[in-house]
Chains A and B, each alone.
Chain A
């Protein structure tokens, strides 16, 4: 686990920027977190609060014939309960994103009449202590009539398959055909067609170390709930919860502070938050809910499992790929909590990194008796990019061409940027071939032949594998219309406010909900550069509070966008403030025009006579507390709010065409493995990760994201999987059975970076942090290289590699 020093290529035409942006400024968040003084959701307490525990389904699929909470409620210290029947009476089903048939399902915050996966919440119990709530839950009587379970999505549309949702008249939730270019023409032009019967991307998620939770208070006087939570996308939770609870969004105040990891897995806690709200009102006391680890594994935010069937690839003999056709089958689990958006999100990166123009993908999403899926780091693009990378290596295998060569022959070239993909996305910048060269250099690719021989001499088989991802960021929510043309979402937005307070304090509020991405630090760097001060002078409020008026419909931290949406909002608000400071100073100095003024040393001064200096403290004091005599028409508040709105058009729904995200950061990983041919056990002996996310505001934070994403990828590739038995029982419901990497599991890692600034964003930045999928594929490819067998699954524990080796022998 030693780390080579970071290698950075000389940046292309990067604007040389002086100042704080671009420096690895130490994080402002760290001091409180290192001293145990962070405030995570389970740290929030209120007088008289009750602890909530969920009674969960032991069956994957069953009718509920009777619920009796009387024995639980009779216990001293039990404050009350909530049943599915009450939820159905008090709330409407959640709004569905899907068009029919998925649109027709009725999703409530507790099971109503039927359970559809093991671990589904059925009843909530609130009591004086955590332990009592748990004990009382054991006394809730629920009678079930078990039904056959559907656990294999490939059987979902069979005529005899158990049906989860009668309202949808079957298990099909959403389907759509995507076709761009002319694949039949590509087949005619091709020298050969490579056929791949089945590829499978497995079910796992990022398992943030802090589980979900909330402390909810109800203010009876004004009918408003305050929801202290670690939900990472309050804007989404609000639009799900408000209509279901039949209240306006002003009645739902969301407050977050420190969040113990999210990775997309904390987007869809809205059903549990509704239960907390209903109980806080019913019991007239604050309600606290902290999810147990086993509950998280059983019920929360699994990543999308996906198959690719009957793939055909149109190939020229020289390794040029013309296009592909495939059928994607996606397993949504029991409910559509964010789905079927996965059915379009993949299209942000339709061709991956390659120039093929003829693409046909038939997407089908079905329901199964498993935990609902929802966004997971690399959401939906990871599955698709793994597929495109698999195609590259399988074609290379079939044509007996070096995978490096196949990639270089087909990469979108630096000179093609900005590049419009077959479906109208515009890749903003990048040089994939240069990234691959750097990654190969970092693992000393030239020495591989010798290392292969050396490993062979030790009885091991060495394999090298490449994996790539595009970390598309800053969503155009108009893509949701490709799923359901009725939806009225499009574009994106984020908010920041920056103000100068009475003693000259620079105070920043963000609409985002960071979970470790260092927003307080990078925002302070951007502000400091504009106001000519130090990041230490900038106070960035921790967390999110919808009372701060610094949020908009899409506020939150998800889908790789802070460096674009969040920091652009910060930049906009700070530039407004800088202009106001100059306007004020101009008036104070007796009519000096703004262009004669400059910000410096914590204040504003006249360029030509720097002794005429007004410190920020004076500016703040004048506007806030000493403003008599200022000119009547002086339009200055020193409290500036800016909404950044990225430049997007509504996509063409008929052609399924348009730019679906604003930026396209890229990652290329290379893994070197040594396989023991006797056992299938393998070790990752070398590893390189190269990232290009445009202008980096804080390179150390960017590198931290690269490392973390890599570790998650390696965990998913080798160990992590949500496996179910045939009855729908999850076999990996905790960290005993769901092995996440430990310190000893980590291979040597070298990181590298290239900076291709985005021409489309105010700071040249691109959102990043989700690029771990590259690692999953790099391991698959390395195993294929080592064993000589085509790898068809994203998850390759040792026993699967052993089976590959047996197939090779046979």
Chain B
């Protein structure tokens, strides 16, 4: 099926199998490998992206469902290679180790801060609840997000 998907501001037209997952479309067809796959049940959140302003797990969406949509991935966060405040905060707070969950964490935190620039501690934890990290224990991720909340 033909789809047109705008990813990080660039429009892509592709012929995709109807059953292809959005995450595989991003990674395999568009070579945007920043979003990752950590499970096959929708639990881990490593594939989190923002579709038309809504945070989604891109393994839970078919590529054809994103036809006409605007998708934001980790590759689109920083401009001109400079880290955003959130990305800098992750670096300063040592909020990543292996870095595999990090793109999903950044997208979840980005979606939260857009909707609620001054989240409570509990709102931060709830926003990150759908993202599994096996390296950090979340404490430093929480601190990083909190540090950029207004």
Residues in A lying within 8 Å of B, measured CB to CB: 1-3, 24, 26-27, 29-31, 33-40, 42-43, 45, 129-131, 206-211, 258-263, 290, 292-294, 515-518, 700-701, 703-704, 707-708, 710-712, 734-736, 740-744, 746, 749
Contacts and interface: CB of A to CB of B under 8 A. Distances in A.
A794 B42 CA distance: 29
A209 B138 contact: no
Contact of A743 (B27, B73, B141): B141
B139 A258 contact: no
Given A744-B126, A746-B137, A292 B102 contact: no
Q: List the 5 closest pairs (A to B, CB-CB), nearest first.
A: A36-B34, A33-B99, A260-B100, A711-B137, A516-B97
A749 B81 CA distance: 35
A735 B96 contact: no
A712 B36 CA distance: 21
B38 interface: yes
29 contacts: A2-B121, A3-B143, A26-B92, A35-B78, A35-B87, A36-B33, A36-B34, A36-B73, A36-B74, A38-B34, A38-B99, A42-B27, A42-B33, A45-B31, A208-B100, A208-B134, A209-B98, A210-B36, A210-B38, A210-B98, A260-B100, A293-B44, A708-B97, A710-B137, A735-B43, A740-B134, A743-B124, A743-B126, A743-B142
Given A33-B96, A735-B43, A707 B33 contact: no
Given A209-B101, A735-B43, A744 B140 contact: no
A696 B128 CA distance: 30
A432 B134 CA distance: 28
B137 A259 contact: no
B61 interface: no
Contacts of B135: 209, 261, 516, 704, 708
Contacts of B87: 34-35
The main secondary structure of chain A at its interface with chain B is loop
The main secondary structure of chain B at its interface with chain A is loop
A129 B20 CA distance: 11
A734 B138 contact: no
Nearest to A1: B142
A734 B43 contact: yes
Nearest to B37: A42
A386 to B, nearest CB: 20
Given A734-B41, A735-B43, A736-B43, 9 more contacts: A209-B46, A210-B36, A261-B98, A704-B97, A708-B135, A710-B137, A734-B39, A736-B41, A743-B131
Contacts of A743: 124-126, 128-129, 131, 138, 141-142
A704 B101 contact: no
A734 B98 CA distance: 21
A36 B103 contact: yes
A30 B90 contact: yes
B134 A27 contact: no
A258 B102 CA distance: 13
A444 to B, nearest CB: 19
